[in-house]
Structure 1
Amino acid sequence: MSTYVSDDVRLQLNVARLAALKKVSRLRVQVGDIYFPVLRQWRDGFSVEEETAPLLRGLVDLYDGGRHVCQCLIIASESEAGERRYEFKRNTAASDKAPLDHYREPDAPMGLLPRD
Structure 2
Amino acid sequence: MEAIFSKEIQAGLDQARLDALKKSARLRVSADGAIHPVLRMWKTGFVLESEAPPLRGLVDLYDGSIHLFQCLIVTSDDEDGERRYEFKRATAVSEKPAVDFEIPDDTPAGLIEDTREHGT
Consecutive unaligned residues in structure 2, runs of 5 or more:
114-120
- Determine the C-alpha separation between the residues in 1 that align with 2:85 and 2:10: 24
Is residue 26 from structure 1 mapped to residue 3 from structure 2 by the alignment?
no
Residue 112 of structure 1 and its aligned partner are, at CA, apart by 9.4
Distance in 2, matches of 1:14 and 1:21, equals 11
Matches within 5 A, 1:33-48: 33-48=33-48
After TM superposition, the structure 1 stretch with the greater mean CA deviation from structure 2, 87-96 or 103-112, is: 103-112
Give the deviation of 1:2 after TM superposition: 8.5
Instruction: Tell me, in whole angstroms, the C-alpha distance in 2 between the residues paired with 1:2 and 1:58.
Output: 40
Calculate percent identity across the aligned residue pairs.
50
- Structure with larger Rg: 2
Instruction: Give 1:66's aligned residue.
Output: 65
Deviations 1:9-43 (CA, angstroms, capped at 9, x unpaired): 00000011001111221000000211000000011
* Greater than 3 Å deviation, 4+ residue runs: 109-113
Aligned twin of 2:117: none
**Matched residue, 1:54:** 53
SS at match of 2:29: strand
* Count of residues paired in the alignment: 112
User: Equivalent residue for 1:91?
Assistant: 90
Q: CA RMSD in A?
A: 2.1
Shift of 1:96: 1.1
Q: Mean alpha-carbon deviation: is it higher for 19-28 or for 1-10?
A: 1-10
Aligned pair in 2 of structure 1 residues 9, 58: CA closer, same or farther (>3 Å)? same
Distance 2:100 2:86 in 1: 32
Gaps of 5+ in 1: none
Q: CA deviation at 1:107?
A: 3.6
